[in-house]
Amino acid sequence: MSTPLRWGILGTGGIAEMFVTDLRATSIAVAAVGSRSQESADAFGARFDIAARHPTYEALVADPDVDAVYVATPHPMHAENALLAIAAGKHVLVEKPFTLNAVEATEVAEAARRAGVVVLEAMWTRFLPSMVRIREIIAAGTLGELRTLIADHDQLLPSDPEHRINNPELGGGALLDLGIYPVSFAVDLFGAPTAVTARGDKTATGVDRQVALILEHDGGAISVLHTALDTRGANTATVVGTEGRIEIDSVWYNQASFTVYSGDDGAVLERYDEKVVSRGMQFQAWELERLVRDGHRESALLPLDESVAIMTVLDEARRQMGVVYPGE
């Protein structure tokens, strides 16, 4: 049996806490944490019983006891932090969105390939057992020819203009935090879109508040997506084919229950209710570990080119919305 990877956590915010909670619940080895201050690293390390606590990201990636780095910083720092870890020869799991834009995503992907390390976008929904089962149903032809995805990700988030979600300096807005989920699902089902139409409005701080998206795909498939940061929605998804449909319960991007219906008489063909330990973020870590163990450099479930394609969709939606981040 191969030696398990030892994880280093780069960043100590809320998403890092959720990730490490799931890793601890499933006995994945967390060896170190790095922050921008010793105080923050010590507090996080004490909470999660992590022995090595580094006051800089440079020290974390240089730690010889770290094999893989999880990048959990705000969006504008993803590329810089991922490149830092890649340069140190570490495998990297980069919190979604992969980067701030497609230019940065391409740079990270190319660096990963040159270095020969595994770099994977932490779109954790892709790797959940519920999504694995949905792909199996589709591959079996149960739905016939896929025609439509209808999905939303709408949350009621803090209105404080300094909060990360509203702050353009931190890559705020609904699209990169929330809309990426249905966009990634659409690309998973249908491939990169051939056309993107985006409509919506912005907050007083200039980030996207609400966005409706229509993605057109090869073969005539259509994705109808919605995201918002100040209204709580149903957060459900429906995949429609010529022979049937899958209705995914709220919250669809978690390990969710779903029902498969026949397209002719509406009969229930399958009801899925499988549960998982903790929230389910461990599955993306297991995927990266599997890739390393098996000698692969990219995941068939989410290859680097697909992460770049997803960022390209978000870039185009922001262009149509007039949302530009500082430095772009």
Each residue's pLDDT tens digit, 55-112: 999 999 999 999 999 999 999 999 999 999 999 999 999 999 999 999 999 999 999 9
For residues 274-282, average pLDDT: 96
Is residue 189 within 8 A of residue 301, CB to CB? The reply is no
pLDDT at 2: 66
Alpha helices in the chain (DSSP H): 14-25, 38-48, 57-62, 78-87, 102-115, 129-139, 174, 180-190, 282-294, 304-321
**What confidence category does residue 1 fall into, taking pLDDT thresholds of 50, 70 and 90?**
very low
Give, rounded to a whole angstrom, the gap between the first and last alpha carbons of the chain.
46
* Average per-residue pLDDT for the chain: 97
What is the model's pLDDT at position 3?
Answer: 74
Is 306's pLDDT higher than 90? Answer: yes
Average pLDDT of the segment spanning 266-281: 96
Q: Does 19 score more than 60 pLDDT? A: yes
Which helix (H) or strand (E) segment holds residue 162: the answer is none
| CA–CA separation, 285 and 5 (whole Å) | 10
Domains of the chain: 7-124+281-298 (3.40.50.720), 129-275 (3.30.360.10)
Q: What is the pLDDT of residue 327?
A: 87
pLDDT digits (tens, 9 = 90+) for 160-170: 999 999 999 99
Residue 197 in this model has a pLDDT that exceeds 90 = yes
Report how far residue 205's alpha carbon sits from residue 216's, in angstroms, rounded to the nearest whole number.
Answer: 30
